[in-house]
């Protein structure tokens, strides 16, 4: 992990994982992670400001056709995916470390 990058929190990790698994909408991420809206949306803003997540708005005509407001979809950036992999490896190693300590 580059030294000037802020650490990825558990919440950030969950949100990145949900996005990586194809959940692209705020409410869907809430459903997938079980986190409340007051946690998920701020995490999305923070990850986006760090360049780990990007978003785009759906086509206006489609929203109009369905008679609803336009949706904003989120996805992981390549940097986000790299951070996710790093974090998963680190957390897995951490889990193993604790498992070893517990059995020794």
Partner 1 sequence: MRPQRLVRVVIAAGSFVVPKTLRARWREEWMAEMAHATSVLEHRGNAGRVLVRMAAGSVIDALMLRTLAFAALLSRGSLSRVWQGSGRDVHLGVRSLRTAPGLTLAIVGSLALGIAASATGFSVLQTMFHRPFPHVDDQSRLQHLCVTRDGSSCAASFDDYSRLRDHLDSAVGISASYRVDLAIKLRGASATTAAGAVVSADYFDTLGVRPAVGRFFTPADEAAGWAQPVAVVAHDLWQRGFLGEPAAIGSVLLVNNTAVRIVGVAPRHFVGVNPKIDGYRTMVWVPSSIGDLALRNGIGERVSASTLEPSYKLGLVARMKPGVTPEQLAADASSIAAGFAPGSLRQAPSTGSRGVSRHGTPSVTVRDVFLNDPDKSLPASLAFTGVPAIVLLIACVNAALLLVARAASRGPEWRLRMAIGATRWRLARQLLVEATVLAAASGVSGVLAASALLRLQGRAVPLPLPIDGPVLVFTVAMVVCVTLLFGVGPAWTTATRTTLASRLGRQHARGRMRGLLIGAQAALCVGLLATGAQFLRALNVNMATIGISDPANLIVASFDLEPLHYTNSQTEAFYTELTRRIDRAPGVERAGLSSSDYWGVSTEPGFARFFLPGDEADTPRTAGVSAIAGDLLETLELQLLKGRPLASDNTSGVREILVNEALERMLPDHTALGRTLRIAPNQSPREEMQAEVVGVVAPLPGDARSDNGSRPHLYYASSSTESPARQLYIRAGHVGQSIAGLRRLVEAIDDRVPIEVTTLDQFFATRQPESRWIASSTAGLGLLGLLLTAGGLLGVVSYVVTLRTPEIGVRMALGASQRNVLLLILRQALTPVVVGLMLGSAAAAALGFVTQARLYGSEPVDPVALATGAAVLLCATGLASLIPARRASRIQPNTVLKDTT
Q: How far is the CB of 21 from partner 1 (least distance, A)?
A: 18
Count of C-beta atoms within a 10 Å radius of residue 38? 8
Residue closer to partner 1 (CB basis): 29 or 87: 29
The answer to whether residue 5 forms part of the interface with partner 1 (CB under 8 A) is no
Closest CA to 17 of 36, 42, 43, 37: 43
- Residues 64-103, mask of contacts with partner 1 (x by CB under 8 A): ----xxxxx-------------------------------
Distance of alpha carbon 25 from alpha carbon 91, whole angstroms = 26
Binding test (CB under 8 A) with partner 1, winner from 46, 54, 75, 79: 46
* Residues near partner 1, by CB under 8 A: 25-27, 30-31, 36-42, 45-46, 49, 57, 63, 68-72
């Amino acid at each position: 992990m580059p030294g000037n990058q802020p650490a990825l929190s558990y919440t950030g990790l969950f949100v990145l994982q949900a996005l990586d698994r194809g959940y692209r909408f705020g409410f869907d991420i809430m459903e997938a992670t079980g986190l409340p809206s007051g946690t998920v949306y701020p995490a999305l803003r923070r990850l986006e400001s760090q360049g780990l997540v990007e978003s785009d708005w759906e086509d206006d005509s489609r929203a109009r056709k369905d008679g609803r407001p336009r949706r904003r979809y989120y996805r992981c950036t390549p940097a986000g995916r790299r951070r996710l992999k790093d974090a998963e490896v680190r957390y897995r190693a951490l889990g193993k470390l604790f498992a070893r300590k517990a059995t020794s």
